[in-house]
Amino acid sequence: MSALDQVAVRPATAEDVERVIDGDIRRFINGHAGDVRVASVSPEGDVHLSFVGACGTCPQLSATFAVSVLPLVRRIPGVRKVTADGVNMSQAALERVEKIFGAAAERRLRHV
């Protein structure tokens, strides 16, 4: 069972995002000597993340965000938008990458 299945249907909170990060994302990020933190969640559902450790300076940060983090956080009920420090891709590019590679995140969840 994914941590996404444990999030109630209501406006997203920092705790909801943290639960999904803890359950479905953090171990992959930690495996690369980095971490991801919830910087803020607005009442409208805008989530802002911060990558720290090795991830904060990694040249692959934008790809990791678009392929492994964005699809899962965006699925949390009540999340409208997801941004992160250091991600230098346009919204259109993020959407294209997520569409192409987002299924990889789904497959990882099924094998957890």
CATH, residue 76: 3.30.300.130
Alpha helices (runs of H) in the chain, residue ranges in sequence order:
14-20, 26-30, 61-64, 70-74, 91-110
> Residue 7: which domain range?
3-110
What pTM, to 2 d.p., does this model score? Answer: 0.79
* pLDDT score for 7: 53
Q: Which residue has the tokens 């993020």?
A: 94
The strands making up 46-53's β-sheet, listed across from edge to edge, are 34-41, 46-53, 81-84
Distance CA 38, CA 1 (A): 22
* pLDDT score for 107: 60
**How many domains does the chain contain in total?**
1
| pLDDT tens-digit map of 76-105 | 999 999 999 999 888 888 878 877 876 665
